[in-house]
Amino acid sequence: MDLKTFSESDFDPKKWINKAWSISENQEKEVFVGNTVARLQLYMKQLSNSLDETTTQIVSSVPRILQDASGLQLEGAMLQQKLVTLEQQVQGVEEQTGHSIQSLQRIDQLKSSLENAASALREADKWVALATSLEEVLESGVPTQKDKLAELAEQVTAMTASLEVLSDSPDYEVKRVQLETLYNRLEAAITPPFVDALTQMD
C-alpha cells in the first residue's frame, strides 16, 4: 500500500477505494473492508511511532548548544499537522468504503427482490396452467384409466406444492379455495380410483 498517495493534493478516497477493490482478487466485501481498515490503522500506528522516534532522534542528536527550541517546535508542529492530515484522509477512506459497501448491499438486496418476484411470477403462471388443465379435464370428462388417473394425481400434487410457494401472494386464500374445489370435484367424479392414485403418489 503506497502511503504517498494520501499526501497528494488531489487525493480522492473514492478512486483509491475502487482501485484497491479492483486488485483485491474478488474478496468478500466484508473481508475487503476489514482488511483495508486494519491495514490503514496499522500504518497510522507505525507512522505515529516513527514520528515519535524521529523527534527523539532529532533532539538527542543535535548538540545542546546548537539546539533551536523554536525551530524544533515549529518542525514538530509541521510533522504533527501532517499526521493529522493523514489521519483525516484515512477516516475519509473508511467512510467512503462504508458507503460503497452499503451501496453494494442495497444492489444485492434489490437483485434478490427482483429474482424473488420473477420466481413468484413463474410459479403463478405454472399454477394457472395446472388449474386450466384440470378444469378442461372436468369439462371433457374425467378418465378412469389408471395411467390417466396417475397424471391427474401428479397435477394435483404439483398444484399443492405450487400453492406452498405462493403462500405470501395476495390471492393465496383464493388459490387455496380453488384447489380445494378442484380436488372435491375430481374426487366426486372418480372416487375411489382417484383417491387411490393420490395415495400411491405419497
Judged against a pLDDT cut of 80, whether residue 160 lies above it is answered with yes
Q: How far apart are CA 184 and CA 115, in angstroms?
A: 35
pLDDT value for 105: 66
In a domain, 14, yes or no: yes
- Model pTM score: 0.42
DSSP states along 10-37: T--HHHHHHHHHHTS-S--HHHHHHHHH
Q: Which residue has the higher pLDDT, 116 or 160?
A: 160
User: Cβ-count burial of 97 within 10 angstroms (0-12 exposed, 13-18 middle, 19+ buried)?
Assistant: buried
Residues 17 and 86 in one domain: yes
- Res. 154: pLDDT tops 70: yes
Q: 121 lies in a domain?
A: no
Question: What domain count does the chain have?
Answer: 2
Tell me what the pLDDT averaged over the chain comes to: 72
Q: Which domain holds residue 45?
A: 3-115
Rounded to whole angstroms, the Cα distance separating 20 from 24 reads: 6
User: Quick one: pLDDT at residue 65?
Assistant: 43
Whether residues 149 and 94 share a domain: the answer is no
